[in-house]
């Protein structure tokens, strides 16, 4: 039975969309032509001549899981290497080059581009999000998708734009499928964003979303309890003011919360005006 060309074209388009979804999700290997529930399958018969390994006696002491200890040690070594690499950069350009050459974070292998920063280095305001998304990964710049467009409008509402701020993320590579970065991935990348803040040396640091505030400000509460509060942040050169606010991606899902973000933006504008007046006097 033959199928109309239109039906065949629709099926091919659907398959291409499915494959694109798998690639974005990080799936790169097919184990079988059809999915199987391996947990529901009965135990397979053991080959002849091969005896089952006897279970250890109850009194036999268990050996420590060496691979787990080795993985933990490896993660600690990677974090130390990241800190040493970040500290060795004396400028933002050197830091970008060092980060591009750093292979300690597995996200680098699945991302298309390093998403380092956008805006003006040395700006009075630095904004830090969590991790890039699909559009950011394609263009190599933070906050260029729908959430970035909203962020542009938020900044414009208080007289700022990308030319008057500096924007970055905790994690500079896109996690597969836009998943949340693991604590290990964030810990490995944190020395780089901390050095980035130090080299940018802004007057005010704005943490966009809970993960950014938790990583940089050490808070444990959720963003709805943390937003609108001011913190002290030590850049390594001096102590500056830091503000936690809602991430634009969250505001796209919860438009009613934009009123809270507006309060935070007005508070940011007030502090910028006060510090500018103090500098002139």
Quote the CA–CA distance of 236 and 200 in Å, as a whole number: 11
State the pLDDT at residue 74.
Answer: 76
Q: Are 217 and 244 in contact (CB under 8 A)?
A: yes
Helix (H) or strand (E) holding 104, with range, is: none
User: What single string gives the DSSP state of each residue in 33-56?
Assistant: SS---GGGSPPPPPPTT-PPPPPP
Quote the CA–CA distance of 128 and 213 in Å, as a whole number: 9
Low-confidence stretches of the chain (pLDDT < 50) are 47-50, 52, 65-66, 68-69, 281
Quote the CA–CA distance of 225 and 222 in Å, as a whole number: 6
Percent of the chain with pLDDT over 70: 72
Please report how many Cα atoms fall inside a 13 Å half-sphere around the Cα of residue 27, on the Cβ side. Answer: 8
pTM metric for this prediction: 0.74
State the pLDDT at residue 275.
Answer: 84
pLDDT in tens, 229-263: 999 999 989 999 999 999 999 999 999 999 999 99
Bridge pairing between strands 125-129 and 230-234: unpaired
Q: CB pairs under 8 A, 24+ apart, for 258-264?
A: 260/224, 260/227, 260/228, 261/154, 261/227, 262/157, 263/228, 264/227, 264/228
Tokens standing for residue 64: 């420590």
Quote the CA–CA distance of 274 and 192 in Å, as a whole number: 30
Burial of 212 from C-beta contacts in 10 A (0-12 / 13-18 / 19+):
buried
Q: What is the dihedral of CA 199, 183, 209, 178, to 10 degrees?
A: 100
pLDDT in tens, 192-238: 999 999 999 999 999 999 999 999 999 999 999 999 999 999 998 99
């Amino acid at each position: 039975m033959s199928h109309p060309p239109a039906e065949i074209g629709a099926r091919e388009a659907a398959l291409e969309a499915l494959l694109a979804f798998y690639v974005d999700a990080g799936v790169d290997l097919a184990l079988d032509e059809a999915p199987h529930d391996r947990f529901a399958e009965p135990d397979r018969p053991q080959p002849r001549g091969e005896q089952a390994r006897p279970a250890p006696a109850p009194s036999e002491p268990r050996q420590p899981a060496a691979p787990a200890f080795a993985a933990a040690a490896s993660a600690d070594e990677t974090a130390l290497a990241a800190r040493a690499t970040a500290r060795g950069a004396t400028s933002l350009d050197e830091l970008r080059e060092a980060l591009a050459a750093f292979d300690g974070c597995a996200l680098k292998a699945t991302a298309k581009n390093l998403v380092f920063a956008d805006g003006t280095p040395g700006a009075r305001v630095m904004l830090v999000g969590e991790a890039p998304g699909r559009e950011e990964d394609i263009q190599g710049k933070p906050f260029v998708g729908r959430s970035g467009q909203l962020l542009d409008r938020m900044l414009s509402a208080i007289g700022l734009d990308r030319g008057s701020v500096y924007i970055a993320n905790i994690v500079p590579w896109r996690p597969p499928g836009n998943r949340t970065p693991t604590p290990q991935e964030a810990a490995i990348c944190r020395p780089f964003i901390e050095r980035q803040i130090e080299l940018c040396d802004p007057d005010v640091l704005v943490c966009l979303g809970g993960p950014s505030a938790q990583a940089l400000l050490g808070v444990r509460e959720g963003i709805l309890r943390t937003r609108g509060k001011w913190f002290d942040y030590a850049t390594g050169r001096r102590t500056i003011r830091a503000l936690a606010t809602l991430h634009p991606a969250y505001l796209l899902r919860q438009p009613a919360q934009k009123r809270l973000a507006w309060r935070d933006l007005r508070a940011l504008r007030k502090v910028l005006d006060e510090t500018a007046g103090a500098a002139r006097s």
